[in-house]
Amino acid sequence: MQNAFAAFYDRSQWLPAARRIGILEETASLMEQHFDELVTLAAREGGKPLMDSRVEVLRAIDGVKNCIECIRTGHGMEIPMQLNAASANRLAFTSREPIGVVVAFSAFNHPLNLIVHQVGPAVASGCPVIIKPAEDTPLSAFRFVELLREAGLPESWCQPLLTTGHPVSAGLVADRRVAFFSFIGSARVGWMLRSQLAPGTRCVLEHGGVAPVVITADADLDDVLPLLAKGGFYHAGQVCVSVQRVFAHASIAQEVAARLAEIGGRYRAGDPLDENTEIGPLIRHQETDRIENWVNEAVEGGAVLVGGGGRRQGDAFFEATVLHNPPPDAKVSRNEIFGPVICVYDWRELDAAIEMANEVPYAFQASVCTRDIDTALYVSSNLQASAVMVNDHTAFRVDWMPFAGLKESGYGVGGIPYTYRDMQIEKLTVIRSRGLQGML
């Protein structure tokens, strides 16, 4: 912390925009040169299959380039003056400056891309950053920092930290020298850490959701079900906006559940370094235990197990699972599963489906599947969500769009351009001059 604060406090050490652009351009180039290494590293430590880890690294490289565009297009604005006697002979404009030291805690499920989302905007905005990756997946973060330094970033401007002790983490977050805190992880931990921030520290929290999908009787199931299955089973469901709760009209709900189970049953689970693997292992064995317990609880409560429901290859894997009509108070109905489980529920009245989708304390991304534009817009406007996909899965994301959890799912807005702006302050300069007389 002392190194980061000293670098920011001494304005002579600030990195000019042109230098920041050069560093990020070289970083993107180095990532392209080390592409296969980064893919293998991410797959090995996080368990995401090679096919999906390649997509992640491509996104991470594009994210660094997005940070460059933020610098090129970021600017202040003129504030109107000369409008009354009080503002006469004045010219006012804003400029943007780095907010200060950034502390970022990251999650395991996208071990490189999430780091880019937190560190990249900090470097672009001119803030020193201390990054704490997830304990399970630190290697991609440390390698990214190495590439930044190889590209010319001074060491004090990006420092990786690995700690397993809560006192160290809590002490870092509570430090009064922290200007901005970025957190990606569980709601329980995120809200707890926010309560410990020093007065004046800004923050953004990205937690999980219990993503709902509303499917009407006229939906094109051939088109949307493969997408919904991918959105639910991708990375073994370890994605904060994974498809979890599917509310299907009663006339098609059984078909929806059966077809999702059939698609999931075809997914190949195994070694993430195998080119043919589609579902990798869960991050920890205790997560396999938890998911199994939740599924069993739902079945004991009356849910129909349509497909999956058990372990594969020991403790590391859980089958792609589909449940039909779990009890509304079951854990799988109310909490984020963070595993390869999709729940399908019947509805007969559209408003009842929307009410069921909204009744949990989480709100993030959602989806509606229908051929009717009026229905799509009605559902979209009534779902409690920060983003609603139409005829797509809930996990859709490009990294320049806003990404925000509502209610207990988060605080503030993610997405590289939005994080970049949050890591800056807008400074107003007002010039009084008699030479401005008559200026329009």
Cα distances (Å, whole numbers) of residue 183 to 64, 117, 191, 412: 19, 11, 10, 11
Cβ 28 vs Cβ 61: under 8 Å: yes
Per-residue pLDDT of 168-206, as tens digits, reads 888 899 999 999 999 999 999 999 999 999 999 999 999
Catalytic residue among 67, 158, 203, 240: 240
Q: What is the 3-state secondary structure (H, E, C) of the chain?
A: CHHHHHHHHCHHHCCCHHHHHHHHHHHHHHHHHCHHHHHHHHHHHHCCCHHHHHHHHHHHHHHHHHHHHHHHHCCCCEECCCCCCCCCCEEEEEEEEECCEEEEECCCCCCCHHHHHHHHHHHHHCCCEEEECCCCCCHHHHHHHHHHHHCCCCHHHEEECCCCCHHHHHHHHHCCCEEEEEEECCHHHHHHHHCCCCCCCEEEEECCCCCEEEECCCCCHHHHHHHHHHHHHHHHHCCCCCCCEEEEECCCHHHHHHHHHHHHHHCCECCCCCCCCCECCCCCHHHHHHHHHHHHHHHHCCCEEEECCCEECCCCEECCEEEECCCCCCHHHHCCCCCCEEEEEEECCHHHHHHHHHCCCEECEEEEECCCHHHHHHHHHHCCCCEEEECCCCCCCCCCCCECCEECCEECCECHHHHHHHCEEEEEEEEECHHHCCCC
Q: For residue 5, what are its two tokens?
A: 């604060």
- Calpha distance 199→179 (Å, rounded): 10
For the chain, the first-to-last Cα distance in angstroms comes to: 48
What is the predicted pLDDT for the residue at 234? 94
What is the predicted pLDDT for the residue at 250? 98
What is the predicted pLDDT for the residue at 66? 98
Residue 206 is a catalytic residue: yes
Catalytic residue among 45, 56, 206, 336: 206
What is the predicted pLDDT for the residue at 242? 96
Q: What is the sign, positive or negative, of the torsion defined by CA atoms of 406, 412, 413, 414? A: negative
CB atoms within 10 A of CB 32: 13
What is the predicted pLDDT for the residue at 440? 57
Residue 203 is a catalytic residue: no
Where the chain has pLDDT below 50, the residues are none
What is the predicted pLDDT for the residue at 300? 97
